[in-house]
Structure 1
Amino acid sequence: MATDSTAGLALVSTFCPDRVGLVSGITSHLFEQGINLRDATFAALGTGAEFSAVCELPAGLTVGEVQASLSSLPVLAGAEVKVTPFAFDPQPGPQAMITHRVEVSGGDQPGLVARLSEIFTQFDANIVRLDAQTLPDRAGERYVLRFSVSIPAERAEVCLSAAANTAETLGLTCRTEGV
């Protein structure tokens, strides 16, 4: 059952082959239906692409109608489209406020995401965004991992040092910055 803060909210998710014009096609279509975007993400994942957004639906527009209309878009041909009611509070809590960015790069290391995310957990840091990519490099390939995190101020220095020490131990570089 939706509360006042969640009434008329939907989560729109698409996954399809990556192509030029995806974000424009999706967001223009949503705008034309009177839908307002709240938090949204887009990512190319290999040769695929994923778009997700919390959307405010105008009165009378159902999640089924939004899903059907998105599924009929040429830019989403062959896409997995899912539109569901959004039952969470759309206002981000304090743990969603990014305080630091951490970038680790170098050779790919199995378990790297797990090791670094465990460090953040130990220091009560919340991962708000995560991006990992394998990029071409002069020496072959370079793995780049970016975390946007919310770290309690009193734990930030030691948390960031632990992440940097872990990266260094693995022969990787680590850059951190406060936001």
Structure 2
Amino acid sequence: MATESTAGLALVSTFCPDRVGLVSGITSHLFEQGINLRDATFASLGSGAEFSAVCELPDNLTVAEVQASLSSLPVLAGAEVKVSPFAFDPQPGPQALITHRVEVSGGDQPGLVARLSEIFTQFDANIVRLDAQTLPDRAGERYVLRFSVSIPAERAEICLSAVANTAETLGLTCRTEAL
């Protein structure tokens, strides 16, 4: 439900074939309309690309107008474009503060993301960002998972040990970084 703090906020989401100039085309257009970006993400997904952003709309601009104008951009030809009111608090809470980065890599295994994310849940760790990629390697392909997580300080050491032990059991490598 929209509140005074969420009035004028919109979630802009696009999905389309990946191409050079996509981010600059979208963000330049939003800027030209007087829209300010808050939290934003971009990712290549296979040969597609996804852009999402929480945006502050000027008072004279509606969600429908933003969606129509984005849909008409040549850089977004053939894209799925969705603009909707953003009803959540735009200020991230404490569980969005990234305390650690964790990278697990090796051969892809069904259920790997589920297995590792369950470990984070067991230790009250919040996954703030997740990136998974299949990369070319000398031996064929290498699957890389990158988690940016918020782990309570008193549980960090045991949580990271559990992730590393699970990775080792599965024949994967694990690197962690405290921030």
TM-score normalised by structure 2 residue count: 0.99
The CA distance in 2 between the partners of 1:36 and 1:112, in whole Å, is 37
* Unpaired stretches in structure 1, ≥5 consecutive residues: none
Q: Distance in 2 between matches of 1:59 and 1:22?
A: 26
Per-residue deviation, 1:3: 1.2
Q: Quote how far apart the aligned CAs of 1:128 are.
A: 0.1
Q: Distance in 2 between matches of 1:118 and 1:134?
A: 21
How many angstroms apart in 1 are the aligned matches of 2:89 and 2:146? 26
CA distance in 2 between counterparts of 1:62 and 1:2 reads 15
1:123-166 CA-to-partner distances (Å, cap 9, x unmatched) read: 00000000000000011000000000000000000000000000
Provide Cα deviations, 1:24-45, integer angstroms capped at 9, x if missing partner.
0000000000000000000000
| Structure 2: distance between partners of 1:20 and 1:44 | 11
How far residue 80 of structure 1 moved from its aligned partner, in angstroms, is 0.1
- 1:7-64 deviation line (CA, Å, top 9, x unaligned): 1000000000000000000000000000000000000000000000000000110000
The alpha carbon displacement at 1:120 in A equals: 0.1
Give distance in 2, aligned partners of 1:64 and 1:160: 45
Alpha-carbon displacement from aligned partner over 1:51-99 (angstroms, at most 9, x marks no partner): 0000000011000000000000000000000000000000000000000
Normalising by structure 1, report the TM-score.
0.99
Instruction: Report how many aligned residue pairs link the two structures.
Output: 179
* Residues in 2 aligned to 1:76 and 1:61: alpha-carbon distance in whole angstroms: 20
Distance in 1 (alpha carbons) for counterparts of 2:142 and 2:88: 37
Partner Cα distance (2:166, 2:109) in 1:
12
The 3-state SS of whatever aligns with 2:29 is helix
Distance across 1 between alignment mates of 2:141 and 2:67: 38
Tell me, which stretches of 5 or more residues in structure 2 are unaligned?
none
Question: How many percent of aligned residue pairs carry the same amino acid?
Answer: 93
Distance in structure 1 (CA, Å) of the matches to 2:42 and 2:52: 7
SS in structure 2 at match of 1:109:
coil
Report the alpha carbon displacement of residue 2 of structure 1 after superposing the two structures with TM.
2.0
